[in-house]
């Protein structure tokens, strides 16, 4: 008997941002599928947009090079989150460690940019219900120009 069901492949990726005090953000990311299981935690100084620390952990991976990510990703400590960060992560961390962990780290930083925008917008709308949202977003990215490309918001 021939099976007519399609093979299933599932991937779960989750990123979350926690505010710790006025000037710290902790971003956590998890990627799980049949081939990969990994997580990262990034501590960011918010006013300076600087990566203070990172922990990369791999449980399941496909190449021996991937396990290098746990040490290679420590190189990002002290990096500024700017318009060059995506390329830098892919080139310096993904090529020398694990490209899937690099993609997870980029998704985590995108989550940071989006969550800061969303939290600031929500807070402003509470005090000003008729706020011009488009203008607010424009002003947010004027104040944080390096986050615009990272947030992937047009």
For the chain, count helices (H), then strands (E): 5, 4
What is the phi/psi pair of residue 121, to 5°? -65, -45
pLDDT confidence band for 65 (50 / 70 / 90): confident
Beta bridge partners of 12: 32
3-state secondary structure of 139: helix
pLDDT of amino acid 1 = 57
pLDDT, tens digit (0-9, with 9 covering 90-100), for 118-128: 999 999 999 99
Q: How far is CA 90 from CA 25, 134, 147, in A?
A: 22, 31, 17
Q: What residue ranges do the domains of the chain occupy?
A: 11-151
Residues 6+ apart with CB under 8 A from 23: 45, 46, 47
What does the pLDDT look like over 23-35, one tens digit per residue? Answer: 999 999 999 988 8
The DSSP secondary structure of 33-59, one letter per residue, reads: ESS-EEEEEEEEETTTTEEEEEEEEEE
Q: What is the pLDDT of residue 131?
A: 92
pTM greater than 0.85: yes
82 pLDDT exceeds 70? yes
């Amino acid at each position: 008997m021939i099976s007519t069901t399609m093979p299933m492949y599932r991937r779960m990726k989750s990123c979350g941002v926690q505010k710790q005090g006025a000037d710290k953000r902790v971003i956590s990311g998890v990627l799980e599928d049949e081939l990969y299981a990994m997580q990262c935690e990034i501590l960011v100084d918010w006013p300076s947009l600087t990566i203070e620390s990172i922990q990369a952990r791999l449980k399941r991976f496909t190449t021996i090079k991937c396990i290098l990510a746990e040490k290679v990703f420590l190189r990002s400590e002290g990096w500024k989150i700017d318009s060059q960060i995506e390329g830098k992560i892919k080139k310096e961390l993904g090529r020398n460690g694990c490209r899937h962990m690099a993609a997870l780290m980029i998704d985590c930083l995108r989550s940071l940019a989006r969550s800061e925008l969303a939290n600031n917008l929500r807070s402003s709308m509470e005090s000003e219900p008729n706020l011009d949202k488009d203008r607010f977003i424009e002003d947010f990215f004027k104040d944080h120009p390096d986050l615009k490309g990272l947030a992937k918001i047009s």
